[in-house]
Amino acid sequence: MNADLMTTIAALQQQHASAGILDIMYKAIGNYGFERFIVSGLPDRGMDVRPFVLLSGWSDEWYERYTGLGYVHLDPVARHCFSTTLPFDWSEAPYDREADLPARRVMDEARDFGMSDGFCVPIHMEGGMQGVVSLVGDSAQIDDKARLELHMLALYAHGQLRFLNSRPSDRSTKRAITNREGEVLKWVAAGKTASEIADITGLSQRTVNQHCENAQKRLGTNNRVHTVVEAIRHKLITL
């Protein structure tokens, strides 16, 4: 994990209000060529998205239009978040422009607001809750390393905002992983494969994978990147 990303994550952890996170996120995504963003939960069909929005870096006009008209339920990018745990470009969200006219309207209107391209990180949380961090900008110019860094940044920002918006009684919930799980997650964060971690630690590859799966269950995450981010956020590992 590069030093700039770790500095950003450390700054996010120190924030006690959404306004501070807004400033940090604008600067952080700007380093990757992105301009605007939104951090939100995704509501069930027919529900208003506004109570689920954790932080909006959209223009006020587009935010009011999108949330007020219930576009979240028509937006192919938002809908695709329910189908994948992996980050994706907006252009990869499937829909039929000829048959799905509501989705087409959302995408065309977004383009009119200067939001033609972007990068989306689905967030899958405990209890089946869904969330999203969506960045506005040209995603074609970012490489695999930058995509991984943006994935981690998005997961961390979403988690920190959920923490700030949670009840004080919920914040006291203790998270725990074993020392060996923490050791394995540190190597995962360093970009090592299960095979490489097995060679480093003297464990079998199967045992390495089992430690990752156990930590994932303890932290309520859906993939290894999210597990590492939550372990950092809960200060269970340091890098």
Kindly state the DSSP code that residue 83 receives in the 8-state scheme.
T
| The residue to which tokens 């996120």 are assigned | 25
If asked whether residues 77 and 142 sit together in one domain, one would say: yes
Domain stop point among 168, 187, 220:
168
Q: Is residue 239 part of a domain?
A: no
| pLDDT of 132 above 90 | yes
d(CA 233, CA 157): 10
Coil, helix or strand at residue 77: helix
Res. 1 pLDDT band, cuts 50 70 90: low
Q: In sequence order, which residues have a C-beta less than 8 Å from that of residue 111 and are 6 or more positions away? A: none
If asked whether residues 143 and 189 sit together in one domain, one would say: no
d(CA 207, CA 236): 20
Average pLDDT score over residue span 152-180: 82
Res. 166 pLDDT band, cuts 50 70 90: confident
Q: Is residue 18 part of a domain?
A: yes
Least confident of 12-16, 63-67, 131-135, 173-177: 173-177
pTM: 0.86
Q: Supply the pLDDT for residue 220.
A: 86
Range of the domain at 32: 3-168
If asked whether residues 195 and 157 sit together in one domain, one would say: no
Q: What is the CATH number of the domain that holds 195?
A: 1.10.10.10
Q: Supply the pLDDT for residue 3.
A: 78
Count of structural domains within the chain: 2
Q: Supply the pLDDT for residue 141.
A: 87
Residue 196's Cβ-side half-sphere holds a number of Cα atoms within 13 Å equal to 9
